[in-house]
Amino acid sequence: MTGEGSEDSTCILLDTCCLLNLYATGRIADILYALPARFAVVERVLSESLYIRRGEVTGDEDDTEPVLLQPLVELGLLEVLQVENDDEAASFVSFAAELDDGEAMTCALALHRTMVVATDDRKATRLCGLLNPPLSVQTTAAMIRSWADARQIPHESLRQVLSDVRERARFAPGRHDPLHAWWHAVLHSEE
């Protein structure tokens, strides 16, 4: 089972940060299902995605909980990819000189398989733009906003989702993110 309308659609390859941010929403399954794309991660990202913070729920904001991705894989919402050939391996090694391993492997597979990269990392975004042809990039904010629009998520619920990402994944989009103002407006408005 892939997302709605995703049978013949683009595959979005999530890096560690985006995967953890979506997981921190508590609604990752619905997000992956609602968006018109297939979603995948590389093995390295899977091994880097170990835990998120529980947030304020337990009173100890640094208390953690494990990231359980196998149910998403079993539901067909998330695919795990491996390096399959020498070209992908060579690109990974080249990109790893500039990026962390998870981002480097994500970019390498996306390049050779014509996939979209989901990252909030500025270095990875810059690298994707310099490639020939450039790789398309999605951000956490763009995916959450698309999901919220598709599902018509009520303002208060959306604010809670963004708050959960901030508290549990310690993420907010940087000022260079096109949806920076939208994100902060949702978090700080009453309606």
Domains of the chain: 1-191 (3.40.50.1010)
Q: Is 116 helix (H, G, I), strand (E, B) or coil?
A: strand
More confident residue, 66 or 8: 66
Q: What is the mean pLDDT of residues 66-84?
A: 96
Give the model confidence (pLDDT) of 26-70 as tens digits.
999 999 999 999 999 999 999 998 989 987 655 566 789 999 999
**DSSP states of 76-106 as a string?**
TS-EEE---SHHHHHHHHHHHTTS-HHHHHH
Tokens of 49: 């995605």
Token pair 């009520």 is found at: 154
pLDDT for the residue numbered 73:
97
Give the model confidence (pLDDT) of 149-184 as tens digits.
999 999 999 999 999 999 999 999 999 999 999 999
Token pair 């659609």 is found at: 9
Tokens of 63: 């208390």
Q: What does pTM read for this prediction?
A: 0.92
Strands 38-42 and 79-81: what pairing? parallel
Q: Environment class of residue 185 by beta-carbon count within 10 Å: exposed (0-12), middle (13-18) or buried (19+)?
A: exposed
Q: What dihedral do alpha carbons 161, 166, 172, 178 form, nearest 10°?
A: 10
Q: What is the mean pLDDT of residues 92-115?
A: 96
